[in-house]
A and B are shown apart, each in its own frame.
Chain A
Amino acid sequence: MFLAWHEMRRSKLRFGLLTGAVGLLVFLILFQQALLGGLITQFIGAVRNQSADVLVFNDQARKNIEGSIILPEQAAAVAAVEGVAVASPLGESTFTVQADGSETDAVVFGYVLGGPGAPTTLSAGRLPTADGEAVASEKDEADGFGIGDTVTVLGPGGTLDLTVVGVARDLNYSVSPTMFTSFDTFAAAKRVRNGLAEGTAVLPSVLAVQVADGADAEAVVERIAAAVGGVEPLTRQQAVDGSPGVSSVRTSFGVILGLFYLVVPLVTGLFFLIVTFQKASALTLLRAIGARARTLVVALLVQVVLVMALGSLVAFGLYAGALQGVKNLGVRVEVMPVVVTSLVVLALALVTSLVAVRRVLRIDPLDATTGAGVHL
C-alpha cells in the first residue's frame, strides 16, 4: 500500500492522465446508459404506463401508434373475440398547444374514461372524470402542465382548453409533454388541429383491450390475430419493445456501450503493463532484497483499484453535470448505476491487469545479480 501510494504521488502526470482517461470513458458509459434509459422512457413511457393489456394496431402501421388507425368494422370484430372483456378506442396525436403562456408541442392520448388505456402511474391529483380534463406527464409539471393549469390546443379550427387534474410519472411519448384525456376530447382536439367541421368522425389510433378475468393476454393476442384481418394485436410489453426506434436505439447503444466496455479495461491494462515493464529493474531489485512477489502484486492491484476509484469519482462529477444538459429527457442522477458501472469496469480492469501481474510474478531476483538485464 505504501509502495503503491508513494509511486502514485511521485508520478502525478502519468497517473493523472490515466485517471482522466478512465474518468472520461466511465463518464461516457454512464452518460450513454442514462441517455438510453431516458430516451426509451421518453419515447414510449405512455404506452408502457397505460392500463390496456393488449393494444390492437392496424397491420400497416408497423407497430407505430402515430401511423395507425382502426376502422369501425375492425373494432367490432375485435370486441367479439373470445377473451376480450372490453375493447375501446385509444387515440394518439401530436398537437400545438399553449401552456404557461408559450406555444409548444404536446402529445395527447384519448381513451374511454373508466376503460382500458388510462395512465397507471398517477403521482398526484386524479384521473379525468369528464370531457376537457386531463392527466399530464409529471416531468412537464413546471412548464404549464401542473394540476390546475389550463393547456390550450391551437389549430386552424380554433382552440380547445384542457384542464390538468392529475400528473403521472414516466408518461411521456415521443420526448414531448403528454396528456391523457377522454376520447371525445381527443377527437375534438383533432378537429381543431385539422380545421375539421364539428361532428366529423375521428378514428381511434389503436384499440385498448382489457382481457377477461383469467384470460391470458398472449393467448388473446393470438386469437385476435387469427380472427380479425388487417390488424396487429400486441401485448403491452410487445408494443413497448416493438415500438419503432426502440429496438434500433437499443441495438445501436448496445454496440457503442460494448465498445466502451472493451476500451476501458484495455487502456488500464495497457498502462499497467507498460509501467510494470518500465519498473522492471526496480522490481527485480526489490525482489532481490527480500520483497515478496505477493507484496509487489498487491501494490500493483492497489494502484489499479485507486485509479479506477478516482476515475469513477471524476466520471460521477462529469455525469451529474452532463445530466443537467439533458433535463428534457427526465433523466435523474442516480448513485446505483454509477456504483454498478464502476464495479463492472473495475472488475474488467483487474482482469486485464493480470497480464502485468503475470509479468511481476515472472521476475527472477537472480537477474539483479547477474547484470544480464531483466527480461520481462
Chain B
Amino acid sequence: MNSSIIRYILGYVLKMEAILMLLPCLVAVIYQEREGFYYLSVALLCGLCGQLMAHKKPASFVFYLKEGCISTALSWIFLSFFGCLPFWFSKEIPSFTDALFETISGFTTTGASILSDVEALSHCALFWRSFTHWIGGMGVLVFLLAIIPLSGGSHINLMRAESPGPSVGKLVPKVKYTARILYMIYLGMTILEVILLLLGKMPFFDALNTSFGTAGTGGFGIKNDSIGGYSPYLQWVVTIFMILFGVNFNAYYYVLFHNLKKAIGMEEVKYYFFIILTSIAIIFFDILSISKGVFDALTHASFQVGSIITTTGFSTMDFNLWPQTSKTVLILLMFVGACAGSTGGGIKVSRFVLLFKTVIKELNSYIHPKSIKKINMEGKPVEHEVTRSVNVYFITFMILFSLSVFALSFEGRDLTTNFTAVAATINNIGPGLELVGPTQNFGLFKNFSKYVLMFDMLAGRLELFPLLILFHPAVWKDLFTCKISSKKTEA
C-alpha cells in the first residue's frame, strides 16, 4: 500500500485547515475577542504539522480505492481532532470529549450539540462551529482536489470515498474541474442565501452562520432557539435553501451548463420533491389544530420537513410536542435523507428508490419466476454491482444502527431517546426526540456513549465503508509493515 501518499494528503488537509482556521481569527479581531489567539495558535500548530507531513513528496502518486478510503477517513479524524482544540484550549467547552463531539458534529454536518447555552459562546467560536459545517458539507478532499495539482488519474477514488451516494460520476472529464464546478455552485448558492437573509433584515453575522449551517445541511444555530426567533420570511428562506442544498448538485450543473430538461428529468430529484410534498401535507393536517393558523402550520410543517429530510436539523419549534403521526413521519424522513451528490446525509433518496425497485422486482419474480428484468434508474439500467452495494449498504447501516442503540442502552434512558439519538447522529441530522429533542442537547450522555455517537456521525458522513475499512486487519498490517520497511530503508 502506498502509505506515503496518504501521509502527503493528510499533510495537505491539515495545511488547508490551518488556513481555514484563520477566518475565526479574523472574526475575533472584528469583535475584539481574546479567544482568537487560541485559533491562531492552533492554526499555526496545524500548519506546522501539515507542513511536516506534506514536506516530503511521496515516492509514487498512484493510489487505489483503499488508499482513497483510508486517506479520506483519516483526514476527517485529523480534521476533527485539530478542529476541536480551540474549543478545548479556550475553555469554552471544558471537556475534550465534548469539544471533539461538537467539532465532529460540525464537520459531519450533523449539528448535534452538547452545549445548553450557545449564546454564551464567543463570536469566533460560533463562527468556527458554523464554518465547520460549510467545510464538511461539500467535503474537504473535494475541495483539495479542486485546488492542489495531483497528477495522475486515480483521484476519483478520493472523491468517491467522500461524496455521498451509491455511484459517483463526473460532470466533466477531469476530477479537478468537476470539483471546481461543484464548489462554485456551492459557494454561489451560499452567497445567494446570505443576500436573501440580509434582505430580511437578519444581522450579517447571523446571516453568514445560518447560511453556513444551511449550505452544509449542518444545523448548528447561533441562538438557543435555533431559527425559531426569526421572522417567517427568514424561516421560509432557510426552508427553501435547505431543500435546495439537499438536491443532487448535478441538477444545478445541468441547469447552468446544459438544459433544464435534463435537470427536471432527474428521477431522484423528482422522488425527493414528491417525498417532501407528501410529508409536508401529512404534517400540515396533523398539526393544523394545535397551530396558530394555517400559515403558521404550513411554515412549521415545511420547515421541519425540510430540516429533517435534508438532515440539516435546524428547528423553529419543539416538534417533540407534536402529535405522534408527525413525529413518526419526521423519524422516517431522518432515514431517507437527501439526494445523492448533495451536501445532506441519511441513506439517500436514490438508495431508497433502488431498494424499492428491487423489492418490486423480487415480487414480480414470484409471479413470473423466469422473467428477466433490469432495474432502471435515471433512464439507464442499473448494474448488478450497484444494487448489490446498495443492499449491503442498507444492511450494514442497520447493523451499525442497532449496535449503537444497544451501546447507548447501558445508560438506562428510554428507547425513544436512544433510538433517535443514534438516528440523528448516524444520519447527520442533529436533534432527535425526547431527551435529545430540538430544545435539548447531547450533553447528558456519558463519554462512552458520546464516542459511539461520534463514530456514528463519521460513519454516516463518509457512507460507512471508508471509515469501516480502517478496522480491516489487512489495512493495519499494510500500514504497519510499510512503516517498518520505510524505517529500515532510512536506517
Partners in one complex: no
Residues of A within 8 A of B (CB): none
Residues of B within 8 A of A (CB): none
